[in-house]
Amino acid sequence: MATVDLKDVKKVYPSGVEAVKGVSIAIPDKELCVLVGPSGCGKSTLLRMIAGLETISAGTVAIDGKVVNAIGPTERDIAMVFQNYALYPHMKVYDNMAYGLRNRGTPKDEIDSRVRSTAKVLELSALLDRRPRELSGGQRQRVAMGRAIVRNPKVFLFDEPLSNLDAKLRGQMRVEIKNLQRTLGVTSVYVTHDQLEAMTLADILVVMNAGLVEQTGAPLDVYEKPASIFVASFIGAPPMNLLPLTGSSSGPMLADGTAIGFAARETQAVTLGFRPEDADVTFNAEALPGALVLPAAVEAVEPVGAESFLHCVAAGSRIIVRVSGRATAKPGDQLRVVAKAEKLHWFDQAGKRVD
């Protein structure tokens, strides 16, 4: 139905603060793009610029090929789901959903049929006569979704819609949002600071930091090949283990002087990283050629059920290793952490990935 194209979009507030410093993203039709980043990275500002709630300082925003910089939120034909839902407190659920359609002069019987069919999809039919305060958090969330869906807009915008729900409901709504978005086939932009939501929902994942895009790509590509230390530590839970390197005549070695044990491919790399699940632990002392072997001391063990996280200290840094099932190691144990060479990530002085 619509594409969304951002070209070198900037936002400078009158106070001189540069919230968005030049972002270009192209979202193809029917895809869900997730903007993820820590608070203050400019992701919400960017979303609000797409919505037309913030002016655009520079660059262009185009919806369906048409530049919309100068037109208001109403004419952009977008629908937005807000973090606090922003339901009209004095209106019944039905009126909350019908309000946007009424303002657009949709005929009464069409409003009625659209509201009722949307309510059916979202299982809100029994709640149409209630007011927002009589609803639970999850139900309010659904009404907010319904208000967006009923308008049948070109683009859905989600501003951290799940952050006010409890963990269980969040997981459930996440799946529902994904399913709805796929069934309706509406191009969507979704802002979140939760990397798990980002990974599971996104067709295109955009990682933002300090007003700039750090990396854009399919979620698993971003996960497997993080473009920078920032992305590596932001995407994935627990985060990637990062070990500083120092150069020496015999090639790079770890900060405490441990040799890496094999020839590092990248000489300019100053940081070495591996994911907690890409490493294993062993109590044996046999040589393992082609792998990074780190002597480590276990500090804490976190059993989660299907897996356990070992918090260790190795080469002067804290690292986390994921082992499946119950961990045999106990706090205080000395063991060796082994990571395969092909699973290692290398980063240069600027924090950028080197391959």
Note the residues at the interface with other proteins (CB under 8 A): 48, 51-53, 72-74, 78-80, 82-84, 86-90, 99-100, 103-104, 133, 147, 151
Q: Which two tokens stand for residue 224?
A: 């497997």
Closest approach, Cβ 200 to other proteins, in A, equals 25
Cβ atoms of 116 and 125 within 8 Å: the answer is: yes
Q: Which two tokens stand for residue 163?
A: 């952050």
Element (H, E) at 102: helix 93-103
**Greatest extent of the chain over all pairs of C-alpha atoms, in Å:** 80
Nearest CB to other proteins, comparing residues 157 and 337: 157
Q: Identify the sign of the CA torsion 12, 13, 19, 24.
A: negative
φ/ψ (deg, to 5) at 341: -60, -40
**Amino acid (1-letter code) at residue 195:** Q
Closest approach, Cβ 213 to other proteins, in A, equals 24
**At a CB cut-off of 8 Å and minimum separation 6, what does 131 contact?**
89, 90, 91, 92, 93
**Amino acid (1-letter code) at residue 236:** G
Omega into 238 within 30° of 0, i.e. cis?
Answer: yes
**What does each C-alpha distance from 187 to 4, 84, 298 come to in angstroms?**
8, 22, 47
Nearest CB to other proteins, comparing residues 149 and 335: 149
Closest approach, Cβ 186 to other proteins, in A, equals 15
Rg for the chain, CA atoms, rounded: 24
Q: Within a 10 A sphere around the Cβ of 330, how many other Cβ atoms?
A: 10
Closest approach, Cβ 49 to other proteins, in A, equals 13
Closest approach, Cβ 194 to other proteins, in A, equals 19
The label of the residue with tokens 């793009």 reads 33
Burial letters 163-193, b for 16+ CB under 10 A, else e:
eebeeeebeebbebbbebbeeeebbbbbbbb
Closest approach, Cβ 48 to other proteins, in A, equals 8
Closest approach, Cβ 190 to other proteins, in A, equals 16
